[in-house]
Structure 1
Amino acid sequence: MKIAYVYDAVYPWVKGGVEKRIREVSVRLADRGHEVHVYGMRSWDGPAVLERDGVTLHGVCPGEALYSGGRRTVPQALRFGSSVLRPLLASGADVVDCQNFPYFSCFSAKGASMMRGIPLVVTWHEVWGDYWYDYLGPRGVFGKAVERLAAGLTEHHIAVSPSTARALEGLGVTGPVPVVPNGIDTERIAAVAPAAEGSDVIFTGRLIREKNVDVLLRALVPVREEVPDLRALVVGDGPERPALEALARDLGLDGAVTFTGFLPDHDAVIAAMKASRVFVLPSTREGFGIAALEAMACGLPVVTTDHSGNAAADLVVPGVSGFRSGLSAGEMGGRILAALDLHRTRASDCRAAAAAYDWGRIVDILEKVYQNS
């Protein structure tokens, strides 16, 4: 089978969750004998077409910044969307898998699908719905309209989480939507040794408003009353870091909480997780929550928010692999204390739950979806 993936950012030049997913499934599909092509911006030096790990990468337009002022830029999305049509028409693909965001490329993929008579699959990492108004203000009506139009382009959709599949119903998608989640490399995670310095609680991710790390900090105050020598790590960086560091000082947590910034590589993050006891993700916007899954693979119970925009909540089996919490500091603090106890007895259950998301199993599901499209 000849498979074409469409997404503007290409791994490893851009290292986000969508880019990593495409890279992981592409390499494994190629290993199984499929011919896999990835169409994105040319963010590398050298020829526009190159091969890496058995996968052919196509740079359909020059690379450029994806964000301006913290938001995805419309001109960039339009340029990529218009540039990918002709290469897709010439691709000879048996199936096109286009990632839903940033939408305009979905319309070009639909054009190629119609003209060449090949199935189009749209993979949905999130459905924003009314969140468009938070993101763009009154102009969010246009983003919401484009999202709904993209949902009507094909009968073949993939959702990366059950919550995203449910949200697609609100966009008018009928019939069951297969859920093909993101995955983890369980063998590689198992091979990483714990970091030398341990912690009780760890968070990893971008320090942005939607992650609600301020709620985590406030929740640590009652936790510290029960665990006087509490040690917490906040791994990551972002625009909220100065305010969060100031809040930690104001709460008297400056001796208990360490802000590490981004660590050197992914193995260092896994090592830090393995040296901790509980992973906390207080986010209200997660298309999947890969960091939570990696933490479970390290044996850590996860405390995350019970919020409609947080797909990581779907990963947690309460009382087994963690807990769901509201956004009050008191409730989250109680859940963290319960998870610290859970770590003593359920670490193996956390690892077993994460094993179901090994990339090999994910590719098994994905192959069947493509074959039935």
Structure 2
Amino acid sequence: MSSAHSGRPALRVLFVQGHLRENGGLRVVNALAARFSADGVRTGVFALEEVDGEEAVALPSDGVALRYGAHHALPAARRLPTGLLALLRTARGYDVVVSGSEIGHGLLAASLVARTLGKPFVVLAQGDLDQAIAAWVPAKLQSATRWVHRHADAVIAVSPGLVPGLLANGLPAERAHVVVNGVDVDEVQERAVTDRGAPDPVPRRPRLLAIGRLTSHKGFDLLLRASVGVRDRGFDHDLVIAGEGPDRAALEQLAADLGADHVSLPGFVENPAALLAQADLFVSSSRTEAMPLTLLESLALAVPVVATDCCEGSRLLLDDGRYGDLVAPESVEALTEAIAAHLGDQRRLRNAAAAGPAFARRFEPRRLAREHLALLSRISGAPLPVFAPLPVATGDTLLRTHQGPSLGSTT
């Protein structure tokens, strides 16, 4: 493999995950791994545990080496040591070990193995550290998780809004970096038409769409109540909440209690872009987020957006409300007002969304992946391969990041 410097093989990157259960964070890792591989970087994804075959999984692309640590059928007491040993053997063949999540067994295992082998250890932070630890990390592992973050060789945050929490935890400022996520607009548009059937000859009610894992932080309970409030104001519509998760039963019960017969929860959808293309409004009701790429996918398809102003990432992706409405988080009334206003007159948000595809192209994922690679090369000392040139970007590619660093820059 050719590299930009002679005398040493080009950079080799190993992503470590606790598992490959389908979720947005894992999709980000898989997309990065695929782009690294396409650029000639030897890239692997290691999962500590192979999940049950009946669960939805997100697998890396064919060009990425996939390794598992332990089979799900192994007794629980044997899974972790088996997975650690397999990770130790696998990581020997890579220059840098990257945890694809800011929490979880994958983070702890990746840190331990990297330190044992003397390899650089990097964390890809996709959520607020304090919130993620409080919500998902058992009390007995919280101190260890914080220690790992403080001692990582680098943490790459997907949003500038995540950096203050990393620094407050004790990470030295020079080890904190920001490279935002992006979407391939052409790919999203192609996927949007893949499953689209013939136009429905019967006029239908306006369709609201929400997408995400059915968990509390997505705020779907707020959206359900707001949707009912919008109907009470005389704006009939359908609401589709696509995704799966532990809150399904609670959301179904809430819909039944509210008499919300216009709401459907179809579960996990393999190609959400096809649903997005048919939506009259995409609604993000999240209580917390980091860099919600569903907003960018909506803009790529020129779909109007209403989103809670719950994070710096939402403001960045909607350019402070230029390309969609931002409303107060945790407010059923604010969601109700914004949705009702759009259904009453769709011209304003439709006009804003029409400029969405051009704006979304500023978040060019191949260029952003190379920002990651430049950081990983510098941290590990391994040279980069010779890259093929990317198409020349048009427009302003360095976006305002609300007093944070520019796209792809260090703090």
The letter for the 1-side match of 2:153 is E
Task: Name 1:68's counterpart in structure 2.
Answer: none
TM-score, normalised by the number of residues in structure 2: 0.73
1:347 aligns with 353
Aligned pairs (5 A) from 1:1-373: 1-10=11-20, 14-41=21-48, 43=50, 53-63=62-72, 80-81=83-84, 83-88=86-91, 90-91=92-93, 93-114=94-115, 116-129=117-130, 132-133=133-134, 135=136, 140=139, 142-175=140-173, 177-191=176-190, 192-193=192-193, 196=199, 199-224=206-231, 228-254=235-261, 257-262=262-267, 264-266=269-271, 269-307=272-310, 311-326=313-328, 327-338=330-341, 340-373=346-379
Contact 1:9 1:19 in 2 (8 A): no
Letter in 2 for 1:331: A
Which is further off, 275-284 or 193-202? 193-202
Q: State how many pairs are aligned.
A: 349
Contact 2:84 2:113 in 1 (8 A): no
Change in Cα spacing, 1:83 to 1:287, as seen in structure 2 (3 Å) is: farther
Q: Secondary structure at the match of 2:355?
A: helix
Q: Please give the alpha-carbon distance, in whole angstroms, between the structure 1 residues aligned to 2:246 and 2:116.
A: 45
Q: Distance in 1 between matches of 2:77 and 2:130?
A: 18
Q: Which runs of 5+ in 1 are unaligned?
A: 46-50, 66-72
Equivalence for 2:383: none
After TM superposition, give the deviation of residue 29 of structure 1 in Å.
Answer: 1.5
Asked whether the equivalents of residues 210 and 242 of structure 2 are also in contact (C-alpha less than 8 Å), the reply is yes
Higher normalized contact order (CA 8 Å, seq sep 6+, divided by chain length) = 2
Unaligned stretches of 5+ residues in structure 2: 1-10, 53-59, 380-411
Secondary structure of the 1:129 match is helix
- Report how far residue 205 of structure 1 moved: 1.9
Q: Check conservation: 2:284, 2:308, Cα contact below 8 A.
A: yes
Q: Would you say the 8 A contact 2:213–2:244 is kept in 1?
A: yes
Cα deviations by residue, 1:158-211 (Å, 9 ceiling, x for unpaired): 112222223212211222522223332322211223564663421112333332
Shift of 1:16: 2.0
User: What TM-score, normalized by structure 1, do the two folds share?
Assistant: 0.79
The SS at the match of 1:321 is coil
State the Cα RMSD in Å. Answer: 3.4
Aligned partners of 2:252, 2:107: CA distance in 1, in Å? 41
> Percent identity of the aligned residues?
24
Q: Which range is displaced more, 363-372 or 93-102?
A: 93-102
Structure 1 residue 38, shift from structure 2 partner: 2.0
Q: Measure how far apart 1:338 and its partner are.
A: 4.7
